[in-house]
């Protein structure tokens, strides 16, 4: 089976990477880059604008040896979108401090996070605020890949303590008790802002191992008859994996 996509939204999958691994990448890349690299807010849905974190594009240059110049929190770093946002931001020279379930710290670190904190830790807010302050870097804000009301409470408490910043959400952002120093927005994951990333970054980054196919896929089965099963599993909720149906 073949799928037609715009050349600007495609990359070459190196021979050593199976398609079942590569399948975790495209939508997550689109969502992550739309959340990070948009330069000016645009309409997302009626009354809701997109975030504009104005981050530079990821680079194949190895930033790990260079000091990062800004710090970003990724909330939900074990999700598909959160893990990719961590990879893309790290490849753009940003220090990422991650929040995930305690069982998924290794995934957040593999994605490039410099530190990772347990989302259920009752002292999470104080720990995150301290971690950000200790970097002594300019604070960008929070990329919240999960965007539930509970996460928004955490996000806003952190942002209040850090004097404000961006809050990039995957769902409509909070509207109550949002300080004026916080710029909220909802990602709209279809945007040509992603084209330079597919054109210039993805293929060499996959070849070199800089870009990893994370979170690892769970192959539900082969054939369209497995789509319903995959949808049921997705509805029940997954942790640190991407459900893939082979065709």
Ligand X SMILES: NC(=O)c1ccc[n+]([C@@H]2O[C@H](COP(=O)([O-])OP(=O)(O)OC[C@H]3O[C@@H](n4cnc5c(N)ncnc54)[C@H](OP(=O)(O)O)[C@@H]3O)[C@@H](O)[C@H]2O)c1
**Residues at the site binding ligand X, with contacts judged by CB under 6 A:** 31, 76, 78-81, 100-101, 104, 119, 145-146, 148, 150-151, 170, 186-189, 237-240
Rg, the chain, Cα only: 17
d(C-alpha 67, C-alpha 183), whole Å: 26
d(CA 117, CA 86): 14
Residue among 93 and 112 whose Cβ is closer to ligand X: 112
Which residue, 21 or 63, has its beta carbon nearer to ligand X? 21
Please tell me the distance from the alpha carbon of residue 79 to that of residue 94, in angstroms, as a whole number: 19
- Least distance (Å) from ligand X to the CB of residue 171? 6
Report yes or no: 71 and 35 within 8 Å, Cβ to Cβ.
no
Min dist CB 74 to ligand X, Å, is 11
Nearest approach in angstroms of CB 237 to ligand X is: 6
Q: Which helix (H) or strand (E) holds 217?
A: strand 217-222
Residue whose CB is less far from ligand X, 69 or 153: 153
157 closest CA partner among 73, 33, 51, 56: 73
Which of helix, strand or coil describes residue 133?
helix
Closest CB 241 distance from ligand X, rounded Å: 7
Q: Among residues 53 and 68, whose Cβ is nearest to ligand X?
A: 53
Please say which residue, 63 or 80, places its beta carbon nearer to ligand X: 80
Q: Is the distance from CB of 25 to CB of 216 less than 8 angstroms?
A: no
Q: Are 35 and 44 in contact (CB under 8 A)?
A: no
- As measured in angstroms, the least distance from the Cβ of 187 to ligand X is 4
């Amino acid at each position: 089976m073949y799928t037609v996509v715009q050349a600007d939204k495609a990359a070459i999958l190196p021979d050593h990477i199976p398609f079942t691994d590569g399948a975790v990448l495209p939508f997550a890349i689109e969502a992550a880059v739309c959340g990070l690299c948009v330069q000016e807010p645009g309409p997302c849905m009626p009354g809701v604008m997109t975030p504009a974190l104005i981050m530079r594009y990821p680079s194949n240059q190895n930033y790990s040896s260079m000091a990062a110049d800004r710090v970003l929190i990724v909330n939900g770093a074990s999700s598909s979108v959160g893990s990719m946002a961590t990879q893309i931001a790290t490849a753009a020279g940003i220090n990422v401090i991650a929040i995930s379930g305690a069982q998924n710290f290794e995934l957040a670190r593999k994605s490039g996070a410099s530190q990772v904190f347990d989302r259920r830790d009752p002292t999470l807010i104080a720990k995150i605020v301290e971690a950000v302050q200790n970097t002594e870097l300019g604070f960008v804000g929070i990329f919240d890949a999960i965007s539930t009301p509970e996460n928004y409470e955490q996000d806003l408490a952190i942002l209040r303590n850090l004097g404000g910043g961006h809050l990039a959400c995957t769902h409509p952002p909070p509207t109550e008790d949002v300080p004026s120093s916080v710029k909220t927005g909802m990602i709209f994951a279809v945007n040509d802002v992603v084209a330079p990333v597919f054109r210039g970054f993805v293929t060499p980054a996959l070849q070199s191992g800089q870009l990893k196919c994370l979170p690892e896929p769970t192959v539900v089965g082969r054939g369209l008859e497995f789509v319903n099963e995959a949808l049921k599993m997705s509805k029940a909720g997954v942790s640190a994996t991407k459900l893939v149906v082979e065709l």
